[in-house]
Structure 1
C-alpha cells in the first residue's frame, strides 16, 4: 500500500510540474516589427491627417536599435512624421513614463499594444504632434 501511495505522489508531482521555458516570454507588446502611420494630429495648425496602412511604415529592429522609415506619402501636408531613412532609437523608462528617442526627437510612448502604437511629442500641451500607428 505504501508503495502505491509513493508511486501516486511521485506521479502527481511529475505531472503537476510544468516547464516555464515552454511558455512564451513574449507576452508583452513590443515595438519590434512594422507599424503603419494611420493618423497625425496636433501642431499649431491643428492638423488631423489620416493615412492608409502601408503609405508610411516604420520598422523597428530591437536588436540593432535601428528604425527604418519608408514614407511614400505624396500628399502635401504640414507633417507626416519622419522622412524615409534609417534612424537610431532608444527607449527610456523613467518612473511610470516611457519615452522613445529617435535621433534627437523625444516621443512619449503613450500606448503600446500588439496592434496599436501612439507616440506623442506633446501635441496637446505644445506645438508637437501625435502619431497613431497600427500593425
Structure 2
C-alpha cells in the first residue's frame, strides 16, 4: 500500500511537473488575416492619428498577394493611408545594410518600409525616409 501511494504521488508530480505554457512558441506569426489600424504617425510634419480598433481594417490574402481595406474613418484630415478597396502587396527582403529590418512591404506598388509582425501586432515603418509608421492590432 505504501508503494502504491508513493507511486501515485510520483505519477501526479510527473504529470503536473511536465506541464508548461508553450502557447507563445506555437503562435503563428503571419501577415495573413484581418488587422485593425490603430495609429499612423510620422512624415515630415510629425503628425500622429489614432483610430478606434475596427474603424479601419486591412485583410491580407497571401494566396493572391492582395489586401482589402475597409475604411470607415470620417475624419478628413487623418492619415488613414488607403481608401476602401483591394490593393496588391509584395513582401521583399530588406536591402538596408546593418539593419534590424529583415523584410519590407510594398503596398499598391509603393515601398512602405520595414515590416514587423508579432502574433498580435503589425507595424510598417518607413521612418528611415521621413515616411509613416503604421500600427495595427489583431
TM-score, normalised by the number of residues in structure 2: 0.71
Aligned residue in 1 for 2:136:
133
Does residue 53 of structure 2 align to residue 53 of structure 1?
yes
SS in 1 for 2:80: coil
The correspondence of residues 64-83 of structure 1 with structure 2, limited to 5 A, is 64-83=64-83
Aligned residue in 1 for 2:87:
87
Q: Quick one: distance in 2 between partners of 1:94 and 1:49?
A: 27
Gaps of 5+ in 2: 1-25, 96-100
Change (3 A) 1:93 1:27: farther
Q: Quick one: distance in 1 between partners of 2:82 and 2:120?
A: 20
Q: Quick one: distance in 1 between partners of 2:79 and 2:64?
A: 27
Aligned residue in 1 for 2:126:
121
Q: Quick one: distance in 1 between partners of 2:44 and 2:75?
A: 19
Residue 84 of structure 1 and its aligned partner are, at CA, apart by: 1.0
Residue 109 of structure 1 and its aligned partner are, at CA, apart by: 3.1
Is 51-60 or 108-117 further displaced after alignment?
108-117
Q: Quick one: distance in 2 between partners of 1:94 and 1:38?
A: 25
Change (3 A) 1:104 1:67: same
TM-score, normalised by the number of residues in structure 1: 0.72
How many equivalent residue pairs?
108
Residue 61 of structure 1 and its aligned partner are, at CA, apart by: 0.4
The correspondence of residues 5-20 of structure 1 with structure 2, limited to 5 A, is none
Does the CA-based 8 Å contact 1:97-1:108 persist in structure 2?
no
1:85-121: CA deviation from partner (whole Å, max 9, x where unpaired): 1111111114662011112221223420010000012
Question: Which 4+ runs in 1 deviate beyond 3 A?
Answer: none
Q: Quick one: distance in 1 between partners of 2:69 and 2:116?
A: 20
Q: Quick one: distance in 1 between partners of 2:59 and 2:114?
A: 16
